[in-house]
Amino acid sequence: MDLTEQSHRRLNPLTDEWVLVSPHRTQRPWQGAVEAVPAVARPQYDPTCYLCPGNPRAGGVRNPQYTSTYIFENDFAALKKDVPASTIDVQHKGLLVAEGESGICRVMCFSPRHDLTLSSMEQPAIEEVVRTWTSQFSELARTPGVSHVQIFENRGEMMGASNPHPHCQIWATKSIPQAPARELFSQQNYFKSHDSCLLCDYLKLEAGEQKRIICENEGFVVLVPFWAVWPFEVLVCSRRHFGALPELNGSEVSQLAAILKQIVSTYDRIFEVPFPYSMGFHQSPTTGAHPEWHFHAHFYPPLLRSATVRKFMVGFEMLGTPQRDITPELAAERLRSLVANGK
């Protein structure tokens, strides 16, 4: 079988899900939706922005004149702290089941500057972002009733970001959400059966093959995973085996900041626009011991052919299995060429 020409499916060993790859299909004509190209120039301060320093938020609270990162409890939190942990199973048939889910939702501004992004921020400022993520993770991990902390960023209107001010969200939950729960299951099984870590072993294979690696530094590797679903999806993996941000050493804080800036800047060069994406860290659950868990981040960007044509997860993707045309190897080649050119 030729993975560069023939249709095939690939297994994601982290989630135990399959992706259909159709390399021969990239030439098909496109007459579908064209998304608007987002405006580029933004002011350093926007008086109407609810995240800028000194401005009132939608809930009425006024932001302080913050000068670095800034955290607040989400005014429209999806999860509340005081929810009873009870389970309902209507008529006990296992068909109408519900469970109380409590949690904490915070918003974190990366910078007081309205016009910056992770790609345009200076290295020391991004290191401060990494340190704030770390202290938030530690604090929430210690909070009773929290089993998992999800840090994620929606960037760009296309990904549903409500505001261009550089920010992310942090949701701490009582239960482990679905995506990390699947990864936990796979990593635990692999750890038990191989007596080694799934992602450590995977990184070794990728280091040998090289063709999916985009950029790397002493602490981290960025690659298009063999099983990537989104056209330019990447996985950021620590080289060292550890589970969560508080285990980063001083140089790894700088290396993580540097690699994040590098991958986001590379993304911005693909179509010469601020590249939309949803990204997030997958870290070990905050209860119990997790020797199997390997710290990583996923970037899921929707763009496919140009700044205006996005990949839709519809039809067969919704009803069957996710599908991609451009191979992960070709996507990696394209991204890699932009890292090299763009320095």
Q: Which does 165 bind (CB under 5 to 8 A by kind): Zn ion, ligand H2U, none?
A: Zn ion
Residue 51 found at the interface with Zn ion (CB under 5 A): yes
Q: How far is CA 76 from CA 80, 169, 282, in A?
A: 10, 12, 24
Q: Which does 59 bind (CB under 5 to 8 A by kind): ligand H2U, Zn ion, none?
A: ligand H2U
Among 3, 24, 54, 59, binds ligand H2U (CB under 6 A): 59
Widest CA span in the chain: 63
Residue 169 found at the interface with ligand H2U (CB under 6 A): yes
Residue 121 found at the interface with Zn ion (CB under 5 A): no
Q: One symbol per residue from 87 to 116: x for binding ligand H2U (CB under 6 A), - otherwise; what is it?
A: --------------------x---------
| Residue 298 annotated to the active site | no
> How many Cβ atoms sit within 10 Å of the Cβ of residue 2?
7
Among 76, 209, 218, 321, binds ligand H2U (CB under 6 A): 76
Give Cα 299 to chain centroid, integer Å.
4
Binding segment (CB under 5 A) for Zn ion, from list 4-12, 42-50, 190-198, 207-215: 42-50
Taken in order 224, 226, 232, 234, the sign of the CA dihedral is negative
Binding segment (CB under 5 A) for Zn ion, from list 41-49, 87-95, 295-303, 314-322: 41-49
Cβ within 8 Å of residue 119, ≥6 positions away? 261, 264, 265, 267, 268, 274
Least distance in Å: CB of 257 to Zn ion?
21
Q: Strand, coil or helix: what is 339? A: helix
Task: Please tell me what DSSP assigns to residue 119.
Answer: T
User: Tokens 């249709």 sit at which residue?
Assistant: 7
Q: Any bridge partners for residue 17, and if so which? A: 12
Catalytic residue (choose from 114, 148, 165, 167): 167
Among 6, 26, 44, 162, binds ligand H2U (CB under 6 A): 162
State how far the Cα of 219 lies from the Cα of 235, in Å rounded to an integer: 14
Q: Strand, coil or helix: what is 303? A: strand
Catalytic residues: 167
Q: Which positions lie near ligand H2U, rule CB under 6 A?
A: 50, 57-59, 74-76, 107, 154, 161-163, 169
Binding site for Zn ion (CB under 5 A): 46, 49, 51-52, 114, 165
